[in-house]
């Protein structure tokens, strides 16, 4: 009887450690058109950008983006296209043909809208 209990406790301990670690970095993107995407980033890992920064490269991307830091209601530091750019809620910056707008800046999280011609 002790073995099943020990196995359950071991599994519960692994889940308790793994869940908080995986919750630190999250990424989601949704592209409504070929030119507009919504992105949510939490944590500081590099993520694949959903569309190339350069409009002449089609729809598949090898470009990367990451959130370096962000402060609730303050400024976000974003690394994209090999460049670090800052933005506050409602402001934008340009990477090649892509305009990236910071819609929401939270504690170590950001919500972006991207557009390109």
Write the pLDDT tens digit of every residue in 14-42.
444 444 444 568 999 999 887 899 999 99
Distance CA 3, CA 23 (A): 30
The chain-wide mean pLDDT, for the chain, equals: 84
Helical residues (DSSP H) of 2-116, grouped into ranges:
2-23
Distance CA 71, CA 91 (A): 15
Prediction pTM value: 0.77
């Amino acid at each position: 009887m002790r073995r099943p209990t020990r196995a359950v406790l071991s599994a519960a301990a692994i889940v308790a450690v793994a869940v908080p670690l995986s919750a630190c970095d999250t990424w989601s993107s949704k592209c409504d058109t070929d030119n507009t995407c919504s992105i949510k980033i939490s944590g500081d890992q590099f993520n694949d950008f959903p569309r190339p920064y350069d409009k002449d490269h089609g729809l598949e991307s090898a470009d990367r983006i990451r959130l370096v830091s962000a402060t609730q209601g303050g400024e976000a530091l974003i690394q994209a296209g090999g460049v670090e750019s800052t933005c506050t809620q409602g402001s934008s910056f340009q990477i090649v043909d892509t305009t990236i707008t910071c819609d929401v800046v939270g504690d170590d999280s950001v919500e972006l809208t991207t557009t390109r011609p």
